[in-house]
Structure 1
Amino acid sequence: MKLKVHQKNWLLSFHITSASLWFGTAFCSLALAVYYQNWANGNELYAINAARNLMGEFIIVPSAVSSLVSGLLLCNFTVWGFFKHYWVMAKQILTMMLIVIGSVWLGPLTKQATSISAIERLQVLQNPTYVSIRDAVIVVGAIQTLVLVIIIIISVLKPWGRRKTSP
């Protein structure tokens, strides 16, 4: 069963909205992490960590999952298919990698940074565990945001075309 044009457009709109929320929130979280590294107030430091953690839990995770699910539905119910086009396959692989890395590694590290800063406040900047977590989260967050930009570019340009032998 293939979707009618207006059904596909609604699903595509939902997919683009989900991906936009994911990218925008990831970018904002990264900007907060990079910009706010030197503090005079421990409460502000904790608040930024808590805000980044909430952004991850309540915006990034749901928008990433809804982007993945809506993308899979688009593959299933449109002419694009799952394996007909290289660009679709690349987006699927990159999206799943981002979700796994974010869920298994980046999200838990952000929670850990928030927990440590909740207890230690401004003294956390002297804690080598916190500093290494903060630095890792910034680097991986930057890579994830860059990969999201690459996924957006792939979506627009649709490079590599159709596979010669597609299932």
Structure 2
Amino acid sequence: MAYRLSLKKKNIVVALHVMAVASWIGGTMGMLLLGVYLQTAANGEQLASMLGSMEIIDENQLKYPALATLLTGILLSVWTQWGLLKHYWVVLKLVLTLATILIGIFFLNDWTASLASLTESRGNAALASREFQQTWSAVIRTSSFNLGCLLFMVVITYLKPFGKIKKTRRRAPHEQ
């Protein structure tokens, strides 16, 4: 029989999971709001300050909570009755969590750094450049998508839709 968490231990892991998710959502919202307000920067110094704040949020309120969410989610699924691959909603949450983390690592980090680099070299004039606007637009769209995924995952955690994954019975060679 697989290891199962006691109720007290499960509640501790659930609390850690909820705190990590809340922090990740808050960080994502913060990044999105700062990203939107980049367009209102009065000067290059203010623009650089906003981008610096975005990098701090990314580094401290996105990466670690995302990792904590992933780890506690996996622990909860394998150490409780839900299982990692028993229910569609658990698998969907795992896929969306991994996708959101990978999008942050491979796209949003680079785009935010690119905006900071453009601002460093051009100051407030960076706002008028096509490169800045395209990258900024990608950051806004992608951050919105990530926030939508996170909120959707919260909803399916409570609704637990889609049912259980049906096990397919393997046929023995003599049955074919």
Q: Tell me the equivalent position of 2:34.
A: 32
Q: Tell me the equivalent position of 2:112.
A: 110
Q: Tell me the equivalent position of 2:174.
A: none
Counterpart code for 1:77: W
Query: Shift of residue 157 of structure 1?
Result: 1.0
Query: Shift of residue 115 of structure 1?
Result: 2.1
* TM-score, normalising length: structure 2: 0.89
Q: Tell me the equivalent position of 2:158.
A: 156
CA RMSD of aligned residues (A): 1.5
Alpha-carbon separation, structure 2, partners of 1:107 and 1:152:
24
Alpha-carbon separation, structure 1, partners of 2:59 and 2:32:
15
- Aligned length, in residue pairs: 167
Query: Shift of residue 135 of structure 1?
Result: 1.0
Q: Tell me the equivalent position of 2:147.
A: 145
Structure 2 unmatched runs, 5+: 170-176
Alpha-carbon separation, structure 2, partners of 1:111 and 1:35:
17
Alignment of 1:60-79 (within 5 A): 60-79=62-81
- Structure possessing the higher radius of gyration over alpha carbons: 2
Structure 1 unmatched runs, 5+: none
Alpha-carbon separation, structure 1, partners of 2:121 and 2:60:
23
Moved over 3 A (4+): none
Counterpart code for 2:135: I
Q: Tell me the equivalent position of 2:53.
A: 51
Instruction: Report the identity percentage.
Output: 29
2:138 to 130, 133, 136: 136
